[in-house]
Chains A and B, each alone.
Chain A
Amino acid sequence: MARLTPIDTAYFKGERADDFAVIGSAVPRSDARAHVTGRTVFFEDMTLPEMTHVKIHRSTRHHALINRVDVSGALGVPGVLRVITHQDVPNNWYTVLRLIGVGPDDEPVLAEDRVLYRGEPIVAVVAETEDAAREGAARVTVDYTDLPAVLDVEEALADGAPIIKQAGTNHFVYEGHHCRRIRFGDVERGFAEADRIIEGRYSSSPIEHAPTEPTGCIVVPQGDGRLRIHTNTQAAFFTLDNTALILGVPPTSLRVVGGTVGGGFGGKVDVIVEPLACIAAMLTGRPAKYVYSRAEEMQVSSPRAAERISIKDGVMDDGRIVARKITLYVDAGAYSRHSPYGTTKAAAHMPGPYTIPNVHVDAYCVYTNRTPSSAMRGFGVTIGDFALESHMDRIARELNMDPLRLRLKNAYRDGDMKAHRKIASGTALVEVIQSAAGLVGHDLPPEYRAMSSTERSEG
């Protein structure tokens, strides 16, 4: 018997149709039995004759010039078939969102003359066995000249900071601006009119997706010269198109097969393993497997970005927030991946589900010498919500006001203009707050219980 969360149909009564046959039913998951009996086939369940293994030699430095790479030690390991350097990658520079026009290409598949983070891939080793590939990768030697590293977002933006990016700034440039901006109303006038100013600063550190199944793929050369890529990507065509661009081959020469993934949470959106496994397969003519170890998954795969968020609010004594200014820093790490996109999403989410007449947001996508961050569940929003809702609690405490009444008073409703100038519709913040209050017996006065998202009445 499935555990079901009850649906409270008293809310939005007139808006719900109820004449469905299978929609709204707890149809059992089609894959549940196979998952719990271990019969689901994941990419790694394939065994192929003559399969080779790919392992990576990674940077041990945060930021350094590469003077010399010596692969002779790797080639001396029994079972090692090939080493792959940047010279073997046809189009070594890429960025995953170029398909929808986001640039510039700012990341090498394999490092050329410089590394920008500890763990950056420099050489890939292809071998008969996983152990031989690992041993080969360990025996590559790199001669570095260390460069000053920038490991903090605000230091990276400070005057005189070492510039680590070839584009010339340590931040992504949004149409000529330092950051993604939201400008709505007049925030300084709002502060001037407010009864009090309440400020806070919130931060997070990087988080791992921790999927049960690590990121990986197996590439199988076909008789007709095409490559069949078995992968746990979250986005099959994203992988296909980006891999074809990196390899410089027609997309018709690749086939991506996937569909069943042991957890993603955004961690399998970057196109990292497939291009190198394809090159390994092309160089050897044999199937090639490249899968992250658990340690790589935790230390090298893109984490959720660390963020630092400052909020300054102008608040009236009755609880109305009349101005909100937010400065938000996303630590993109060394390369863009999806972070410029996530930063725009963060800006669009501000100032939260509240109608505030004066809003000013500066959202910075900042480059540092850290592991590149990228998409994760709640991308651009999760840390923002932590900051926004902690701040709402801070305001309620300072005003000595019930925290739910404060939220209801400021909640956005249908027809309100959001700070990014889209008219709100289909809102339901008021109702989820009323409902949650009911779940815990939190008393709300009648005028707050009577509020609705579909019409504005003053609380």
Chain B
Amino acid sequence: MALRHGRGYAAVNYPTGMNLGGDPSQALVHATTMGGFVVTLSSVDLGQGLRTVIAQCAAETLGIPIENIIVDTADTDTGPHCMGTFASRGTHRVGNAVIMAAREAREVMLQVAADELEVDAEDLETDGTGFVRLKGSSEMKIHISDVALAAHFRQGRTISGRGIFLKEPSSPVPETGEMDPDSCQAHACTVAEVAVDDETGVIEVLRLYNTYEIGRALNPALATQQVEGGAWMGLSHALFESTEPYYPHSREHGPVDFTEYLMPGPADIPAQTSLFLERPADNGPFGAKGIGEMTANAPIPAIANAVYDAVGVRLTSMPFTPEKVLRGLDELRAGRAG
């Protein structure tokens, strides 16, 4: 009886956005009196950091410091329509809508600044520190606070913009399944290294190596959080989780709390080594693809394949419990004996 080691591989792709499209998100952007910019949405932050990445998209497009951005999420009295936060669509759909709204607001901001500076708006640029300045000049500039004050109290204009992203809905052809289901595809390859105890059937995942192609990492820290959390969830699906442990045979034994519904604790989490590749998507905000969901997928088959490499048992039913490993080992031994 021994710990037996194995390595397994898996590669996947994942569609961005609601299947078949038809899932709009809208954004509104407006300046407060002294140059705060409010991004109004009806989108939800589930803990993935949508507010932060949306603030980045708005700041980048407006050309102003991120500290000037306020993101207001999810109030249907004040926010424009959003289909929802799911389907790896938040950054892609909402990001695009915010860029569109911020472009419109930026145009007005530059016009107001142009009138204040008595120059042409086309000759102005933002410097990212809070000033609108004449291209090539260090003297001719105006702070966005003064631009906003001028708009509100002198020029009588709203610095505001509207944005929407909609991928038009696709209808599958019933006979062939011809359809346009996605906006773009993200990609991942996982290598899992496991140790299998051939006496107890317990699988330990020792290391996970992941390469993710995600279009563009708008915020590498948030993207890291997604891929590391996602890999944890994949491992959890692979080895631990089920609301019906004996599916489809019995509905009894269903867990009702976290002492019965097991998930990996700190000691079960493998070392993770990850790498990003970026192939910007034509239709993504700054090239970003949706990566939220993809990250849980490749670890599952990579672990199954690593178990096969270690002990020769092909696990075909999730989760990969010790019982299934031991039954597989018994079958192998029986086969050899026969």
CB B12 to nearest CB in A, in angstroms, measures: 5
Q: Are A8 and B191 in contact (CB under 8 A)?
A: no
Interface of chain A residues 66 through 118 with chain B (CB within 8 A): 100, 118
For B44, list chain A residues within 8 Å (CB): 233-236, 258-261, 264
Interface check A344, CB cutoff 8 A: yes
For B242, list chain A residues within 8 Å (CB): 205-207
Interface check A378, CB cutoff 8 A: yes
Interface of chain A residues 398 through 444 with chain B (CB within 8 A): 403-404, 407, 411-412, 419-422, 424-429, 431-433, 435-436, 439-440, 442
Interface check B8, CB cutoff 8 A: yes
Interface check B27, CB cutoff 8 A: no
Q: Are B209 and A206 in contact (CB under 8 A)?
A: no
The distance in angstroms between the C-alpha atoms of A390 and B316, with both chains bound, is 8
For A426, list chain B residues within 8 Å (CB): 184-185, 215, 279, 281-282, 289
Q: Are B318 and A210 in contact (CB under 8 A)?
A: no
The distance in angstroms between the C-alpha atoms of A183 and B175, with both chains bound, is 7
Q: Out of A5, A6, A16, A385, name the residue touching B280 (CB < 8 Å).
A: A16
Interface check B203, CB cutoff 8 A: no
Q: Whose C-beta in chain A lies nearest to the C-beta of B242?
A: A205
For B156, list chain A residues within 8 Å (CB): none
The distance in angstroms between the C-alpha atoms of A393 and B304, with both chains bound, is 9
Interface of chain B residues 276 through 311 with chain A (CB within 8 A): 276-282, 286-287, 289, 292-294, 296-298, 300-302, 304-305, 308
For B177, list chain A residues within 8 Å (CB): 180-184, 347-348, 361, 419-421
Q: Are B243 and A207 in contact (CB under 8 A)?
A: yes
The distance in angstroms between the C-alpha atoms of A392 and B188, with both chains bound, is 15
Contact A12-B278, Cβ < 8 Å, known A378-B293, A385-B297: yes
Q: Are B278 and A16 in contact (CB under 8 A)?
A: yes
The distance in angstroms between the C-alpha atoms of A284 and B245, with both chains bound, is 41
Q: Which of B50-58, B101-109, B115-123, B143-151 interfaces with chain A?
A: B50-58
Interface check B66, CB cutoff 8 A: yes
Contact A236-B300, Cβ < 8 Å, known A348-B15, A432-B277, A433-B11: no
Q: Out of B81, B179, B318, name the residue touching A205 (CB < 8 Å).
A: B318
Q: Mark A231-266, 1 if CB is under 8 A from B, else 0.
A: 001111110100000000000001111111111111
The distance in angstroms between the C-alpha atoms of A377 and B237, with both chains bound, is 11
Interface check B218, CB cutoff 8 A: yes
Interface check B36, CB cutoff 8 A: no
Q: Out of A8, A24, A30, A419, name the residue touching B220 (CB < 8 Å).
A: A24
Q: Mark B78-90, 1 if CB is under 8 A from A, else 0.
A: 0101111111000
For B45, list chain A residues within 8 Å (CB): 31, 259-261
Interface of chain B residues 156 through 201 with chain A (CB within 8 A): 169, 172, 174-182, 184-185, 187-191
Q: Are A236 and B79 in contact (CB under 8 A)?
A: yes
The distance in angstroms between the C-alpha atoms of A184 and B35, with both chains bound, is 56
For A349, list chain B residues within 8 Å (CB): 15
Q: Are B74 and A236 in contact (CB under 8 A)?
A: yes
Q: Are B247 and A205 in contact (CB under 8 A)?
A: yes
Q: Are B60 and A22 in contact (CB under 8 A)?
A: yes
Contact A235-B319, Cβ < 8 Å, known A23-B56, A298-B255: no
CB B256 to nearest CB in A, in angstroms, measures: 4
Q: Mark A145-185, 1 if CB is under 8 A from B, else 0.
A: 00000011100000000000000000000111100111110
For B319, list chain A residues within 8 Å (CB): 205
The distance in angstroms between the C-alpha atoms of A370 and B56, with both chains bound, is 44
Interface check B114, CB cutoff 8 A: no
For A35, list chain B residues within 8 Å (CB): 47
The distance in angstroms between the C-alpha atoms of A192 and B63, with both chains bound, is 61
Interface check A204, CB cutoff 8 A: yes
CB B72 to nearest CB in A, in angstroms, measures: 8
Q: Are A5 and B275 in contact (CB under 8 A)?
A: yes
Contact A389-B293, Cβ < 8 Å, known A382-B237, A428-B279: no
The distance in angstroms between the C-alpha atoms of A11 and B278, with both chains bound, is 7
Q: Are B258 and A294 in contact (CB under 8 A)?
A: yes
Contact A181-B176, Cβ < 8 Å, known A24-B218, A26-B219: yes
Q: Are A390 and B304 in contact (CB under 8 A)?
A: yes
Q: Are A256 and B75 in contact (CB under 8 A)?
A: yes
For A153, list chain B residues within 8 Å (CB): 248
Interface check B221, CB cutoff 8 A: yes
Q: Out of B174, B254, B293, B300, name the residue touching A175 (CB < 8 Å).
A: B174
For B224, list chain A residues within 8 Å (CB): 2-5
Q: Out of A25, A236, A377, A431, name the residue touching B82 (CB < 8 Å).
A: A236
Q: Are A208 and B261 in contact (CB under 8 A)?
A: yes
Interface check B111, CB cutoff 8 A: no
Q: Are A8 and B276 in contact (CB under 8 A)?
A: yes
Q: Are B277 and A257 in contact (CB under 8 A)?
A: no
CB B153 to nearest CB in A, in angstroms, measures: 29
Q: Are A298 and B187 in contact (CB under 8 A)?
A: no
CB B206 to nearest CB in A, in angstroms, measures: 12
The distance in angstroms between the C-alpha atoms of A263 and B210, with both chains bound, is 24
Q: Are B76 and A427 in contact (CB under 8 A)?
A: no
Interface check B154, CB cutoff 8 A: no
CB A23 to nearest CB in B, in angstroms, measures: 5
Q: Are A345 and B176 in contact (CB under 8 A)?
A: no
CB B270 to nearest CB in A, in angstroms, measures: 13
Q: Are B19 and A380 in contact (CB under 8 A)?
A: yes
For A264, list chain B residues within 8 Å (CB): 44, 46-47, 85-86
Q: Are A5 and B223 in contact (CB under 8 A)?
A: yes
Interface check B329, CB cutoff 8 A: no
Interface check A49, CB cutoff 8 A: no
Q: Are A389 and B19 in contact (CB under 8 A)?
A: no
Q: Are B13 and A235 in contact (CB under 8 A)?
A: no
CB B5 to nearest CB in A, in angstroms, measures: 13
Q: List 25 A-B contacts (CB under 8 A).
A: A9-B278, A12-B278, A15-B279, A22-B128, A24-B217, A30-B55, A152-B248, A180-B172, A184-B177, A208-B243, A235-B44, A235-B84, A235-B86, A238-B83, A256-B74, A256-B75, A265-B233, A349-B15, A382-B237, A385-B10, A389-B301, A428-B277, A431-B187, A432-B277, A436-B191
The 4 A-B pairs of least Cβ separation, nearest first, read A235-B84, A259-B74, A389-B301, A205-B247
Known contacts A177-B174, A361-B177; 18 further A-B pairs (Cβ under 8 A): A16-B216, A26-B219, A181-B175, A206-B244, A234-B84, A235-B86, A236-B79, A258-B75, A259-B73, A264-B86, A265-B233, A298-B257, A299-B256, A397-B308, A427-B187, A432-B188, A436-B191, A440-B191
Interface residues of B (CB under 8 A from A): 7-15, 19-20, 22, 42-47, 49, 51-52, 55-57, 59-60, 63, 66, 71, 73-77, 79, 81-87, 128, 169, 172, 174-182, 184-185, 187-191, 209-213, 215-224, 227-228, 230, 233, 237, 241-245, 247-248, 251, 254-258, 261, 263, 273-282, 286-287, 289, 292-294, 296-298, 300-302, 304-305, 308, 314-319
